[in-house]
Structure 1
Amino acid sequence: MIKQGRSCFVIMLVGLLWSAASYSANWSIYYPRPINENDIRHEYPLALLKLALSKTGVRYSLSPSERILLQGKAIRQLKESREINILWAMTDSQREKDLLPIRIPVYKGLIGWRVFLINQAFSHKFRDINDVADLTSLTALQGAEWPDTKILQSNGFNVLTVPEFPEAYSRLSQRQADYFPRAVSEVLGELNARSMDPSIMLEPSLALHYPAAVYFFVNRSNPIMARLIETGLRRAIEDGSFDNLFVAHHRDALLKVDVNERKVFELVNPLLPKETPVDDEALWFDPQKHAPETVDNIP
């Protein structure tokens, strides 16, 4: 009984010490600097990270890295604990081996709902698409180091890879590929960018879906930061502020890119780690719950 009592006391003491250390510290958090300061793809994950931190009451500073870090480089730097101490990226088994994931999907899985940007000159190619086999006869664009590339290839898709994100749009403008699958959460912001070639359009009737999650990742030697951010995210889920933020940032996309009105092709994601919390409905986008008529009524 004495040993058991001591064990409980030690566990409680460790918890109290962790809590005291976490909440008294001034956390300096560095994330990958985007390609340009107007890259709106960073707005939502940064807003969610700030929300999570606000729920914990800790003091923190949040800053971009000194230099631009594309995803592949950012992952390597975080693994080696250089320049940054957090990033957000789509998960796969290798990334979860190299880094420490916080297994709460940042985009509620919306990143796995994909619609197509196409060159208007190729719009006729998509009018009679009836199954996945029809799509695999066309050429899709993806980043060379994106998990999506392997997901599409494993499902039989023909994929043309590019080393950097802007090059995909250049290839699309030059008609060197047929379509560029983009997440519902990001497609409108990219399509409305000032630099976008006016010949590029959103294909109106098709979509892909595969289970996928973007997580916040930290270095594996930093479990205290991971626990801190997870605590904040859990509290935001419980009080509804996570979902409110998600809807506020994606309202236009959910209204204008209604996947319920599209022909959706389901794909397998062989890269999805078995630890992914796919059964926790509170963590995921639901096409019915987040349908336009519902979203439009959320403050």
Structure 2
Amino acid sequence: MRLYRAQAKLPALVVWLLGLLLALTASNLSAGTSQRLVVPMYGAEDPHHDSYFFSRLLKLALDKTVSEYGPYTLEIPEVMLTDDRLKAQVVKGTVDVMWHSSIGSEDMGLRMIPVSLLGELSEYRAFLVRHGDQARFNNIHSLDDLRQMVAGIGAQWPGVPVLKKNDLPYVSSSRYELLFRMLAADRFDYFPRGLYQIHSEPNLYPEFNLVVESEILLHYPNDVYFFVREDNSELAERLRLGLERAQEDGSKQRLMETIPRFHWAQQELARGQRRVIKLQMP
């Protein structure tokens, strides 16, 4: 505005051209400063719920901070990464943000954004079991009872040290999808999954005839957070601010309520009819 007044005595055409030049320059600068963020395609988890963390919740947090931090673009590499490789890519800076359980996070060498992404939904685990096996679980009332069964779990998942700490037998695989096949083939007895994950998972591989066990929940502290590179303080602050705003104005909760599996999980907790077996933390 000051520049316009200073040039007020110039011919009108010159003033107009000068104003156009300034507008184009501002537009180019804005486009050039768009924050480019690389987010991962997961390989060790159900791909169907990545859309909540990255396509929806991450965008929600970023959208709520555009006024302070400017526009952004999200890019997804074509290569799927297992947990350990993904952490290494975030440390290197080739991937900008990941989501992960709080378990073992102190050893990751990454900066945690201290706003829980799932709340209490991430603290409970239910079981996928073979169709017809429900009766085997009806009489399980304690941790000692559960130790007579064998769990299946991803080899790099944060739940592994929890099972070890509680002396729960397990077999593992590096591939998420293979665990369904192994359960169906009687390689183990149950597949513990996050309560927020499990509702639609039998439909992923209907040929294996798996169902959600109806009586038991495991419980242990297990918040889920976004993580960024340790020195990426600007992105860390942006995500913290955006998530807090989404939490305060209710938009995060409204987003969760639009996801059928989350809605089902919240109803299961509200019913309070499952037996809860509490696990000790490593």
2:145 is aligned with 1:134? yes
Q: Distance in 2 between matches of 1:28 and 1:201?
A: 41
2:60 is aligned with 1:51? yes
**Partner of residue 89, structure 2:** 77
Instruction: From 214, 226, 235, give the equivalent of 1:204.
Output: 214
Q: Distance in 2 between matches of 1:63 and 1:264?
A: 40
Residues 173, 197 of structure 1: 8 Å contact kept: no
2:226 is aligned with 1:233? no
**Partner of residue 162, structure 2:** 151
Q: In 2 relative to 1, CA 252–97 (structure 1 residues): closer, same or farther, beyond 3 Å?
A: closer
AA at the equivalent of 2:102: T
Q: In 2 relative to 1, CA 191–134 (structure 1 residues): closer, same or farther, beyond 3 Å?
A: same
Over 3 Å off, 4+ runs: 93-97, 255-259
Secondary structure at the aligned position of 1:181 is classed as strand
Give unmatched runs, 5+ long, in structure 1. 1-23, 271-299
Residues 181, 208 of structure 2: 8 Å contact kept: no
Q: In 2 relative to 1, CA 96–54 (structure 1 residues): closer, same or farther, beyond 3 Å?
A: farther
TM-score, normalised on structure 2? 0.81
Q: How many residues align?
A: 247
Deviation of 1:257 after TM superposition, in Å, equals 6.9
2:196 is aligned with 1:188? no
Secondary structure at the aligned position of 1:261 is classed as coil
Give unmatched runs, 5+ long, in structure 2. 1-31
Deviation of 1:262 after TM superposition, in Å, equals 0.5
Q: Identity of counterpart residues, as a percentage?
A: 27
Q: Distance in 2 between matches of 1:223 and 1:186?
A: 31
Q: In 2 relative to 1, CA 208–55 (structure 1 residues): closer, same or farther, beyond 3 Å?
A: same
**Partner of residue 109, structure 2:** 98
Residues 184, 208 of structure 2: 8 Å contact kept: no
Residues 85, 219 of structure 1: 8 Å contact kept: yes
AA at the equivalent of 2:172: T
**Partner of residue 276, structure 1:** none
Residues 109, 214 of structure 1: 8 Å contact kept: no
2:224 is aligned with 1:214? yes
Which 10-residue stretch deviates more, 121-130 or 222-231? 121-130
AA at the equivalent of 2:248: E
AA at the equivalent of 1:43: S
Secondary structure at the aligned position of 1:242 is classed as helix
**Partner of residue 258, structure 2:** 248
Q: Distance in 2 between matches of 1:166 and 1:112?
A: 23
Q: Distance in 1 between matches of 2:39 and 2:147?
A: 36
Residues 100, 220 of structure 1: 8 Å contact kept: yes
Secondary structure at the aligned position of 1:218 is classed as strand
Residues 115, 183 of structure 1: 8 Å contact kept: yes
AA at the equivalent of 1:49: L
Deviation of 1:183 after TM superposition, in Å, equals 0.7
- Structure 2 counterparts to residues 117-132 of structure 1, below 5 A: 117-132=128-143
**Partner of residue 177, structure 1:** 188
Q: In 2 relative to 1, CA 149–93 (structure 1 residues): closer, same or farther, beyond 3 Å?
A: closer
Q: In 2 relative to 1, CA 192–204 (structure 1 residues): closer, same or farther, beyond 3 Å?
A: same
Alpha-carbon RMSD across the aligned residues, in angstroms, is 2.4
AA at the equivalent of 1:67: V
2:40 is aligned with 1:32? yes
Residues 131, 265 of structure 1: 8 Å contact kept: yes
Residues 104, 158 of structure 2: 8 Å contact kept: no
Instruction: From 210, 234, 244, give the equivalent of 1:224.
Output: 234
